[in-house]
Amino acid sequence: MKIRTITHAVAVALLALTAGQAAQASSHREAPFITEHPKVDGADFYMFRSYESGRDGYVTLIADYLPLQDSYGGPNYFSLDQNALYEIEIDNNGDGKEDITFQFQFKNTYAVPALSIGGKSVPVPLLNIGGIGPGVTDGDANKSLIETYSVNVVRGNRRTGTSQAATNLTSGGTSFRKPTDNIGNKSIPNYPAYANNHVFSIGIPGCDAGRVFVGQRKDPFVVNLGEIFDLVNLNPVGSPSAKPNIIADKNVTSLELEVPIACLTTGGDPVIGGWTTASLHQADVINPHPKGVVAGASSTQGAHVAGGAWTQVSRLGMPLVNEVVIGLPDKDRFNASEPKDDAQFANYVTNPSLPALLEVLFGVKAPQVFPRTDLVAVFLTGVTGLNQPKTVTPAEMLRLNTSIAALAPAAQNTLGVLGGDTSGFPNGRRLGDDVVDISLRAAMGVLLTAAQAPSGQLPYTDQSSLTATDFDAAFPYVKAPLPGSPNTGSSGTTNAVAGR
């Protein structure tokens, strides 16, 4: 299929991604319930053919959680919830249901150091009392909190299927260590080297080995967030790099897996679908008389105790969906839903409102094609000739054609398929794909006819730019997090604006 035909279909599909309000960070604080539970707030999901040299037989999966982290946010910083279940789901036969699920569960072990003060042993109020890592134990004697996690691989239904523990081929066993967040340069002088010490070879049951990393990173998303929210208080056809990335001073926690392609595909179909979810226990009871910090999720001595069945509270596949497609009354319902049931949200994509909003604000002409029933088909099934499975049930998720070769960072086009680069968004999603600009241009009809989209050829942008070269060229790809110290005063950390 010619690129023009593919990109025309992609433009139609991407209209659906901008069908609500103005775009915001891909999934930061997108629904009422999730604002109350930031530890299980799925921020972004990426899925792409690995482009690190020598790793072209792999797919990289990145699920970012707990967004908008201030690097100086101590003394507790940003551990993940040991009473939550974090998952990355893969559909490899097009039916909208998970076939392989990678489940992450965390354990936070507190061993609070104490100092002798006037002859009495007094626990310290800080996360550390000395330098940390790198090393086998990462300076555990100086740490109040040791974070570890396990990875289970479930085949079939994620709740009833066959579950097997992944193994740590680097250090043995089934437990993996998460690095301490970037407290600052005095506590952890060489954070990139320290964090890289937590990239592990992972034994995936029934597959060749992959790699895994979980830890704090610099938030990879780029967006002119505040001005977008303020009735698009910018020039949407101005310079694409005129404005700073307003979340450039924020960190996030990344769950990253690199998995052999052969482990993810089935039946001769190279197309896979992927999304990430987080679940909490149905019951959560506050302890009115907590008896101190405890290690392990099963204790009843801490501030609360959780129990009951897992209940999904966060979901993210394609970027921008729950923010700009799903209406406010249904945002929590979308987060609790499964892709196979997405027909219930079809009305939100047939009559997109963002083009009408831009028309009112800036005098441009919104596309006049209603109802957009064609959007539903393309948006939920993948694009014919690009990333549509051989058989498909309409369902919202990232879809990746694993047979399309990856490009080196310098060769990637930030507009993905709209820029003629079929290895990019919406064929999966890479870190350097500018999904905000892609969505704005597609929403206004960049590849529709002039009659359908009178203003469709304008170069719409949020005026904040990124490229693939802003990220590392090797796993785990996302840049090391900003340090909490030293800082430059009121503007934040030393690297608040640099680093992209």
> Whats the size of the chain, residue-wise?
500
240 upstream amide cis, omega within 30 of 0: no
Contact criterion met (CB below 8 Å) for 248 and 226: no
Give helix 3-15 / helix 373-381 axis angle, nearest 10°.
110
Q: Taking the mean position of all CA atoms in its chain, how far away is CA 468?
A: 16
> What token pair was written down for 60?
């990289």
Burial of 143 (0-12, 13-18, 19+ CB in 10 A): buried
Burial of 131 (0-12, 13-18, 19+ CB in 10 A): exposed
Rounded-to-integer distance, Cα 398 and Cα 282, Å: 28
Spatial CA neighbour of 211 closest among 177, 258, 244: 258
Give helix 435-443 / helix 3-15 axis angle, nearest 10°.
90
> What token pair was written down for 498?
């640099």
Rounded-to-integer distance, Cα 238 and Cα 227, Å: 14
Q: Encode pLDDT of 103-113 as tens digits.
A: 999 999 988 88
Please state whether the predicted TM-score (pTM) of the whole model is above 0.75. yes
- Residue-by-residue pLDDT tens, the chain, 500 positions: 433 333 343 333 333 333 333 334 455 665 567 778 899 999 999 999 999 999 999 999 999 999 999 999 999 999 999 999 999 999 999 999 999 999 999 999 988 888 899 999 998 889 999 999 877 788 888 999 999 999 999 999 999 999 999 999 999 999 999 999 999 999 999 999 999 999 999 999 999 999 999 999 999 999 887 787 788 888 888 888 888 888 899 999 999 999 999 999 998 999 999 999 999 999 989 888 887 665 544 444 678 888 999 999 999 998 877 776 777 788 888 888 899 988 888 777 677 777 778 888 888 998 888 765 545 545 678 888 999 999 999 899 999 999 999 999 999 999 999 999 999 999 999 999 999 888 888 778 877 788 888 988 899 888 988 999 999 999 999 999 999 999 765 444 444 333 33
Rounded-to-integer distance, Cα 224 and Cα 123, Å: 43
- The overall longest dimension of the chain from CA atoms, in Å, is 83
Q: What residues does each domain of the chain span?
A: 32-470
